Structure 1
Amino acid sequence: MAAATAKVVCVTGGSGYIGLWLVRLLLDRGYTVNATVKDLNDEKETKHLEAFEGAESRLRLFQIDLLNYDSIVAAVTGASGVFHLASPCTVSKVHDPENELLAPAIKGTINVLTAAKELGVKRVVVTSSVSAIVPSPSWPSDVPKSEDCWTDEEYCKQKEVRGSFFCTYFQDKCFGDHALSKVARENYHVASILRDVKLFALRWVDIVVVNPGTVMGPMLPPTINASMQMILLLIQGCTDTYENFFMGSIHVKDVALAHILVYENTSATGRHMCVESISHYGDFAAKVAELYPEYIIPRLSKDTQPGLMRSKNGAKKLVDLGLEFTPLEQIIRDGVESLKNKGYLS
């Protein structure tokens, strides 16, 4: 799908960490963008979007509620494509997971896909996560993870893994009327994972998925996102290893470019792992310590992700589409310097 044939697109979650970069790059490519925000009167959401080159003539902002179908229809109307990024994501414990996470993640996505189908949208790009790929302990340890790998729902239930309980939602909500399980009540990060599951089976519209790893780099919005909080906590001395859901890092600009590549190329189908390389969190921590010796970085065991085979070719599908990944060193430097510029680090 050439850009010239689909110049109007909708980006849900346009004021988010990845969303801002995506809107910026789409405007640079000549697209007209319908970007959605939660509150049109909140300058923290709108100011950065309106400052982009081309925004004055080719950016339209819409206030939506993912649970309000009509508000989504207004934003999608006239668009040939949709990039669905809007969904909650946090590394903190939530008090009401059903309303804070599950409803906007699943019901919101169904609303977006329904609107896309009804309005004749040609392609929808959904932002998922590598947390829909790991943890997967039954995957052979001598084979790199790929798009064919899916998070093991039984393992997540047994271990109460906080990164991946999409299975709980589908079992308890889609396939029955049971209350949310203890796993769901105590955990986080449903948004991207939930949307990755079963999407292809729906076949409502032409759907492709991007599965980013830990997204880092320059922060355009004023608030810190979940992935950048990980590197901040590491520098502050946190020894967590994120054993069950770290697969590698990715530059935020590369994630935005990946979305555009899978949208514009009709050859792109299914899921697309989006990491600079498949690696262990210990590798990442060691590189941060090497680049920033002035900080006291915890020394972690090298094999922080049991059973995960390192690979530089984990994102082969995106490489074949022409994406050149930013090296890990630059990802870290851009991330740390952004944290400094935003006042999170001195």
Structure 2
Amino acid sequence: MDKMIEPKLGKVCVTGASGFLASWLVKRLLLSGYHVIGTVRDPGNEKKLAHLWRLEGANERLQLVKADLKEEGSFDKAIMGCHGVFHTASPVLKPTSDPKEEILGPAMEGTLNVLRSCKKNPYLRRVVLTSSSSTVRVRDDFDPNMPLDESSWSSMELCERLQIWYVLSKTLAEKAAWEFCNKNGIDLVTVLPSFVIGPSLSPELCSTASDVLGLLKGETEKFKWHGRMGYVHIDDVAACHILVYEHKTAHGRFLCSSTVLDNNELASFLSAKYPSLPIPKRFEQQDRPYYEFNTSKLKNLGFEFKTIDDMFKDCIASLVEQGYLSSI
């Protein structure tokens, strides 16, 4: 236990608690015995939050409070007194005329608003920020024979040139977080998940889960742009956040990805495994560089990833149960 943060079962805050990943994180924290303060935009939206209140331990140890990434100081109440903060919330907006205004600004300012509230909390031990493996891999100057690790950063110039605004927003937000926390003495650890696969606790599917559902129904439009992509089980991502929060020696960035596959490798695996689903056999090939991820930093803490088989088995079972897919 000397390597772990004490007290293990203190009070923690999860921002954007009703989200796809955040819901799983809240679930795992409650199962571990933590008291969880979850921030949401509308605590009165019973329909959107019902899945959180159904979690084991929620009635005893979950509190949902209002906070908005765009409002400085709105996280003060939720964060004050917490030993740990898991910042998972991120604005997901479709750009219309000014992507910088609509995505980049809110992502950075939202992160800084949460961290300003963290700075006011004398009880805070550690902040765990959800970033993305995309902050590592969007660059055109790496050796494909050398797996990418946490020392790599995506090229902001390349993101801007290719108009990959989501990746640019995650990269800028994480860099802003490191700068703020280093300057203000806040213990920060960041988690960089690849594409997250698994059951959605909310019956309302987020864009990630909707894209997966589309693939299983035979659509190629969204997934064809993936080219080569890392995949990870949603439960692994939640577990990873808690591991790096609790482990005293955890520091810096942690890539969280189980398997990297080309589109056609994924299609081949899925269509063979689930022949009754109209999964595409092949994808239009994109001219993308080959890469692998080096996840030894996380594995050295004793972490083991679920397989691509586990990810889709659990995901499909959930989609069938929620009525999005007919039984297979």
Whether the TM-score (by the shorter chain) exceeds 0.5 is yes
Matched, 1:228 2:230: no
Give, in whole Å, the separation in 2 of the partners of 1:97 and 1:44. 31
1:1-346 equivalences under 5 Å are 1-5=4-8, 7-89=10-92, 97=99, 100-120=102-122, 121-164=124-167, 166=168, 190=169, 192-202=170-180, 203=182, 204=184, 205-240=186-221, 241=223, 243=225, 247-300=229-282, 306-310=288-292, 314-346=294-326
Please report how far the alpha carbon of residue 124 of structure 1 lies from its aligned counterpart in structure 2 after TM superposition: 0.5
In structure 2, the residue matched to 1:185 is none
Please report how far the alpha carbon of residue 318 of structure 1 lies from its aligned counterpart in structure 2 after TM superposition: 1.6
The answer as to whether partners of 2:104 and 2:165 remain within 8 angstroms in 1 is no
CA deviation vs aligned residue, 1:102-122 (integer Å, no higher than 9, x gap): 343211110111111111221
Distance 1:149 1:281, change over 3 A: farther
Report SS of the residue matched to 2:77: helix
Distance 1:268 1:245, change over 3 A: farther
Give, in whole Å, the separation in 1 of the partners of 2:7 and 2:194. 30
Please report how far the alpha carbon of residue 284 of structure 1 lies from its aligned counterpart in structure 2 after TM superposition: 2.0
Give, in whole Å, the separation in 2 of the partners of 1:309 and 1:87. 26
Distance 1:260 1:236, change over 3 A: same
Give the TM-score taking structure 2 as reference length. Answer: 0.88
Report SS of the residue matched to 1:278: strand
Give, in whole Å, the separation in 2 of the partners of 1:302 and 1:139. 24
Report SS of the residue matched to 2:255: strand
Report SS of the residue matched to 1:279: strand
Return 100-109 or 58-67, whichever deviates more: 100-109
The answer as to whether partners of 1:212 and 1:275 remain within 8 angstroms in 2 is yes
Amino acid of the structure 2 residue aligned with 1:57 = E
Report SS of the residue matched to 1:247: strand
Give, in whole Å, the separation in 2 of the partners of 1:306 and 1:114. 38
Please report how far the alpha carbon of residue 56 of structure 1 lies from its aligned counterpart in structure 2 after TM superposition: 1.7
The answer as to whether partners of 1:32 and 1:59 remain within 8 angstroms in 2 is yes
* Percentage identity across paired residues of the two chains: 36
Query: How many residue pairs are counted as aligned between the two chains?
Result: 318
Please report how far the alpha carbon of residue 307 of structure 1 lies from its aligned counterpart in structure 2 after TM superposition: 2.1
Amino acid of the structure 1 residue aligned with 2:199 = P
Report SS of the residue matched to 1:69: coil
Please report how far the alpha carbon of residue 137 of structure 1 lies from its aligned counterpart in structure 2 after TM superposition: 1.8
Report SS of the residue matched to 1:220: coil
User: How well do the aligned residues superpose, as a CA RMSD in angstroms?
Assistant: 2.3
Give, in whole Å, the separation in 1 of the partners of 2:175 and 2:16. 20
Amino acid of the structure 2 residue aligned with 1:268 = A
Please report how far the alpha carbon of residue 217 of structure 1 lies from its aligned counterpart in structure 2 after TM superposition: 0.7
Segments of 5+ residues of structure 1 without an aligned counterpart are 167-189
Distance 1:142 1:199, change over 3 A: same
Give, in whole Å, the separation in 1 of the partners of 2:146 and 2:176. 24
Segments of 5+ residues of structure 2 without an aligned counterpart are none
Give, in whole Å, the separation in 2 of the partners of 1:3 and 1:229. 39
CA deviation vs aligned residue, 1:240-266 (integer Å, no higher than 9, x gap): 445568531111110000000110112
Distance 1:67 1:309, change over 3 A: closer
Give, in whole Å, the separation in 1 of the partners of 2:287 and 2:281. 15
Please report how far the alpha carbon of residue 157 of structure 1 lies from its aligned counterpart in structure 2 after TM superposition: 2.6
The answer as to whether partners of 2:254 and 2:298 remain within 8 angstroms in 1 is yes
Give, in whole Å, the separation in 2 of the partners of 1:10 and 1:57. 15
Please report how far the alpha carbon of residue 2 of structure 1 lies from its aligned counterpart in structure 2 after TM superposition: 2.6
Return 248-257 or 141-150, whichever deviates more: 141-150
Amino acid of the structure 2 residue aligned with 1:137 = D
Please report how far the alpha carbon of residue 221 of structure 1 lies from its aligned counterpart in structure 2 after TM superposition: 0.8
Amino acid of the structure 2 residue aligned with 1:109 = T
Report SS of the residue matched to 1:257: helix
